[in-house]
């Protein structure tokens, strides 16, 4: 599968960038549409592009029907029902069949579930578009090509961001003015490089440790599991933020600005702030189309807390079947309520609040990562079990999925990423700082980035760089 981290994709992307800037402006949109569908086909085959095309055509005509109808609520309900059913089919059918087979003898009967890439993301985008038309905030897009490109745009097809139609439409309208700009392309590729650094230098390395600890939590306890909990949060962040940076960088290089999905979430001083910085396109979707319609904070504190919990549980359910995801979502809601009731009323230094927020988020991640609720319980119980002070040094970390050299590379890479984010948090732009240097220093840094990613980012058979965590959602 040609995901972002395969050499085939890197080569194809560079070829596309060259061809894109050679194409006449009049054919850029159709070319982008064809290439995006071709990439979607490479990822998921005919079913993926077939369902996507059907969803696009349905959305196109439904928008006009809804805008002119006197039965808007019925049409809105039917549309949401169809697309939610598609989501449920994609996410829940396999586990429902597996669960049913434990109670019902199906004999030799089998039902094959067809996987369709990107459904979780373009369905939410499409529903937002139709809801906004119902609310009178949008008008139907008369250009089917624009609508189709918006839903299939290849940098975001795997795992978002969940782009709003109005924003993306404005970006597409500028395509006809897109000219070759070396500085823009270079900056886009540097953004991609940062994403690759997060993904193949940190997330994929630390995954080997996390993937050993969580299924075997009963064999460990104390500090080593606490470290695994922290490592899992870092892995998920670097994996998803890495993907988002690559997607953003590719779009930037062709002069399209998509949503920047992450904004230094681990520097947040509250869970409330963290969710304004984490998976931004999804969290704003939940706020605009679940939380606010439920009443938001307009109907008193008790109702606000209930709305928060419902919204977070739904956000958990979106990630997949099983109670663990809903618990993960619910915990984030509970932590946010706890902040409002307790922490916000206590004067706590911001640095301490940032640590508390990170630990709250990481604790919830245990349920996100554990395969079952029982495994999550075992992990937490064993993590809180400290038999003696010696447990702080228990276990040979170098034997847990990585050799000692890989641990060194991991810690150095994490340190570089942390310093980069800290400088960004303080308002210092690494890109502008680099651009202020002379050409020798700049290009030495560019080549160093390529060498580091190539030498330290290709690991052999023990590492799987082909899949991003949020590709599964």
422: tokens are 């800290």
Burial class (CB in 10 A: 0-12, 13-18, 19+), 448: exposed
229 Cβ contact list (under 8 Å, min separation 6): 362, 363, 365, 366, 379, 383
| 77 vs 69, higher pLDDT | 77
pLDDT digits (tens, 9 = 90+) for 131-159: 999 999 999 999 999 999 999 999 999 88
Mean pLDDT in residue range 448-468 = 65
pLDDT score for 98: 57
Tokens 């459904």 locate to 119
Per DSSP, the residues of 76-119 read HHHHHHHHHHHHHHHHHHHHHHHHHHTTS--TT---PPPP-TTH
- With a pLDDT cut of 90, the percent of the chain lying above it is 60
pLDDT score for 457: 72
Has residue 405 got a pLDDT over 90?
no
Chain CA centroid to CA 123, Å: 15
16: tokens are 């596309």
**Spatial distance between the Cα atoms of 392 and 60, rounded to a whole number of angstroms:** 59
pLDDT score for 462: 45
Mean pLDDT in residue range 184-189 = 92
pLDDT digits (tens, 9 = 90+) for 28-40: 999 999 999 999 9
Domain limits, the chain: 7-180, 181-217+233-257+403-473, 263-395
State how far the alpha carbon of 210 is from the alpha carbons of 207, 230, 272, 352, in Å: 5, 10, 27, 26
Has residue 465 got a pLDDT over 50?
no
Closest to 199 (Cα-Cα) out of 429, 442, 6, 368: 6
Chain CA centroid to CA 176, Å: 30
pLDDT digits (tens, 9 = 90+) for 202-233: 999 899 899 999 998 888 888 889 999 999 99
Closest to 353 (Cα-Cα) out of 261, 262, 274: 274
Burial class (CB in 10 A: 0-12, 13-18, 19+), 427: exposed
pLDDT score for 424: 93
Q: How many CB atoms sit inside 10 A of residue 269's CB?
A: 19
pLDDT category of residue 160 using cuts at 50, 70 and 90: confident
pLDDT category of residue 93 using cuts at 50, 70 and 90: low
* Average pLDDT value over all residues in the chain: 87
Sign of the alpha-carbon torsion through 359, 361, 364, 369 = negative
Confirm if 60 and 141 have CB atoms less than 8 A apart.
yes
């Amino acid at each position: 599968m040609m995901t972002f981290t395969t050499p085939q994709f890197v080569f194809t992307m560079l070829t596309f960038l060259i061809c894109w800037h050679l194409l006449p402006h009049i054919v850029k949109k159709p070319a982008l549409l064809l290439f995006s569908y071709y990439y979607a086909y490479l990822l998921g085959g005919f079913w993926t592009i077939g369902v996507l095309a059907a969803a696009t055509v349905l959305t196109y005509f439904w928008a006009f029907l809804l805008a002119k109808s006197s039965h808007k609520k019925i049409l809105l309900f039917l549309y949401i029902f169809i697309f939610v059913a598609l989501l449920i089919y994609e996410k829940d059918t396999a586990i429902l069949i597996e669960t049913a087979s434990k109670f019902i003898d199906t004999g030799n009967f089998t039902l094959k579930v067809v996987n369709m890439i990107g459904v979780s993301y373009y369905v939410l985008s499409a529903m937002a578009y139709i809801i906004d038309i119902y609310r009178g905030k949008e008008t139907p897009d008369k250009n089917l090509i624009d609508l189709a490109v918006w839903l299939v745009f290849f940098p975001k097809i795997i795992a978002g961001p969940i782009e709003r139609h109005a924003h993306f439409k404005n970006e597409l309208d500028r395509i006809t003015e897109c000219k070759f700009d070396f500085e823009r392309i270079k900056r886009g590729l540097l953004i991609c490089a940062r994403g690759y650094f997060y993904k193949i230098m940190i997330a994929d390395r630390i995954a080997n440790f996390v993937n050993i600890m969580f299924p075997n939590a009963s064999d460990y306890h104390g500090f080593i599991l606490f470290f695994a909990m922290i490592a899992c949060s870092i892995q998920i962040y670097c994996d998803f933020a890495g993907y988002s940076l690559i997607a953003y960088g590719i779009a930037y290089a062709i002069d399209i600005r998509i949503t920047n999905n992450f904004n230094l979430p681990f520097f947040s001083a509250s869970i409330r702030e963290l969710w304004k910085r984490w998976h931004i396109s999804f969290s704003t979707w939940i706020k605009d189309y679940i939380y606010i319609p439920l009443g938001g904070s307009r109907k008193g504190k008790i109702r606000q807390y209930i709305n928060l919990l419902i919204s977070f549980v739904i956000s958990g359910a979106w990630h997949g079947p099983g109670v663990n995801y809903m618990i993960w979502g619910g915990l984030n809601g509970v932590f946010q309520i706890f902040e409002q009731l307790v922490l916000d009323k206590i004067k706590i230094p911001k640095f301490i609040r940032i640590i508390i927020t990170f630990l709250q988020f990481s604790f919830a991640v245990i349920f996100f990562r554990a395969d079952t609720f029982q495994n999550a319980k075992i992990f937490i119980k064993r993590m809180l079990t400290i038999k003696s002070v010696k447990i702080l040094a228990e276990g040979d970390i170098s034997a847990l999925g990585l050799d000692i050299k890989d641990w060194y590379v991991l810690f150095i890479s994490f340190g570089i990423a942390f310093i980069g984010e800290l400088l960004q948090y303080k308002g210092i732009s690494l890109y502008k700082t680099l651009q202020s240097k002379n050409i020798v220093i700049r290009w030495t840094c560019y080549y160093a980035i390529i060498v580091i990613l190539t030498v330290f980012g290709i690991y052999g058979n023990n590492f799987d760089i082909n899949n991003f965590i949020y590709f599964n959602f």
